[in-house]
Amino acid sequence: MNTPTSTYYHFIKKKKYIWLRAVIGVLILFSPLTCDAQGEYKIFKYDNGKVSSEGFMVDGKPEGYWKTYHPDGTLKSEGNRRNFELDSLWIFYNEDGDKVTEITYQAGKKHGPYRAYQNGVLYEESTFENDKKSGESLFYYPTGEVQKRINIEDGKEHGEAFEYDREGRIITLLAYKEGFLRRADKVNRFDNQGKKRGPWVSFHPNGVLASEGYYLNDLKNGVFKKYDKRGDLISLEKYRDGVLVTDAEESLILDIRNTYYSDGTLKSTGGYVDGVKEGTHRTYDKEGNIISGKLYRRGEVAGEGIIDRNGDYQGMWKLYYDTGELKAEGEYADSKRTGDWIFYHKNGETEHKAKYSDGLPHGKWTWYYEDGRLRREEFFRRGKEDGTVTEYDREGNIVVQGDYISGLRDGTWFLNVGDHTERGKYTDGERTGDWVYEYTDGTVKFEGEYVAGLAVGKHRYYHPNGRVKLEGKYKSGLRVGTWRKYDEEGIQLLNVKYKSGREVRINGKRVIKADEYLPDL
């Protein structure tokens, strides 16, 4: 049985053992042997005497575990270098000591898990592949719940995305295309009294839309639709103030009807609403092979072609507008577009000609205005823009021109943005070098420099009369120092002092942070 004395003695021995292991670990860490036989541990300092960085140097280059510091002495970054390149996990901190990012590197490139923090709290989780974000990115509320779920392709937001409330309910349906937000539809919301209001939707576990409808004052109002796991419409119901309207024209309960050959073999199947065709309809031969298929919306053909037993589109298809005009025609293979496709305006004129391979844009795409005039020419390779893109206004003037390489802008680009034009270079999809904006009369509107997509150095904006409108400096994409704003006569209207992108003084007066208003707890 252990006595208090023997327990205390054991505790002291254990503490000495732990301390000894820690000392040995430190000696190993700072020993040149942990880096290279010729490595030498170096400490660099700012002019104020504070350490700026420390770690091993081999052949005059940093190698092994390194730390860097802010000028005030707080830790700025820490991580490992292998073969003189960033490798494995690196952690970055702001001047307040809060963790900002955790980035995994491989051979100098971001490759692996990535985490971003705000005020020391996890904000984003993503994955990098060869310096570009890829796959699903998650964004969090300060309290830890998932706020957004966004798909990333080749470093850009692309496809459907979702925003959630803190209870995990989808509240916004988002749609991105090549890094740009194309749509944001608010759904599943409550009003100020906590009652359901507006559109509400639900999804199957496979991500396919399961139901959609509209609420007012917590009651169903309007048409509610239900879909199966393949996305086929299976029922439509109309409600008024929460009550199903059974005798209304829009009371749409899908009635599946089958027809048969004389020998009992299934001939056709499809849904009806009050005798009107709705949803997917298929026709079979006597051997059970699908020989035709059509999609209906309220009795109107939305598309026609082969729909196999798995619900996949096969062969040549035609798609139609709700008003009956031909919208597109081309070929499917397992629901993936392939070969040449033509899309039409409602007036019958060609909207664009496209080429696909395995469901992905591939080859030359050409777009046209409703009157047949050329609108845009671009090239794709396996789903990514690759080659020169040129876009024209209705008068035939070039409004956009530049080159893509594997989906990323590269080289000199020209953009006409309404009241001005923009001209500059891209490298790997990021702005680089000097950029200049000009008014339509050739007067400079803006000039500034970018490095790897981040604004750097002096940036100036000008009034149409040539006088400076706004000027200041950037450092790594953040405003720093004093920014000044002027009117068209050159009279200064405002000056704002920034520190690491944050306003600290406006016209000489200190900006009070929001947290300075919080009472002591």
Q: CA 320 to CA 328: how far, in whole Å?
A: 7
Closest to 319 in 3D by CA, of 331, 336, 333, 308:
331
Token pair 């749609």 is at which residue?
175
The phi and psi torsions of 251 (rounded to 5 degrees) equal: -75, 100
CA distances in angstroms from 141 to 122, 123, 184, 359, 518, listed in the order given: 8, 7, 19, 36, 20
CA distances in angstroms from 25 to 18, 19, 254, listed in the order given: 10, 10, 72
From first to last of its 521 residues, the chain has per-residue pLDDT tens of 333 333 333 433 343 343 444 433 433 334 433 444 357 999 999 999 999 999 999 988 999 999 999 999 999 999 999 999 999 999 999 999 999 999 999 999 999 999 999 988 999 999 999 999 999 999 999 999 999 999 999 899 998 899 999 999 999 999 998 888 888 889 999 988 889 999 999 998 888 888 999 998 899 988 888 887 767 767 777 788 888 775 554 444 566 788 898 888 888 888 787 788 887 888 888 888 888 888 887 788 888 888 777 767 889 999 988 788 999 999 998 888 999 999 999 999 999 999 999 889 999 999 999 999 999 999 999 888 999 999 999 999 999 999 999 889 999 999 998 789 999 999 988 999 999 999 989 999 999 999 989 999 999 999 999 999 999 999 989 999 999 999 999 999 999 999 988 899 999 888 766 444 444 43
The phi and psi torsions of 173 (rounded to 5 degrees) equal: -100, 120
Q: Hey, what's the torsion of the CAs at 318, 320, 325, 328, to 10 degrees?
A: -50
Bridge-based pairing state of the strands 492-499 and 502-506: antiparallel
Among positive and negative, which fits the CA dihedral 494, 499, 503, 504? negative
Question: 39, 57 in Cβ contact below 8 A?
Answer: yes
pTM confidence score: 0.48
Among positive and negative, which fits the CA dihedral 473, 477, 479, 483? positive
Domains, the chain, ordered by start? 415-521 (2.20.110)
Paired tokens of 473:
């400096």
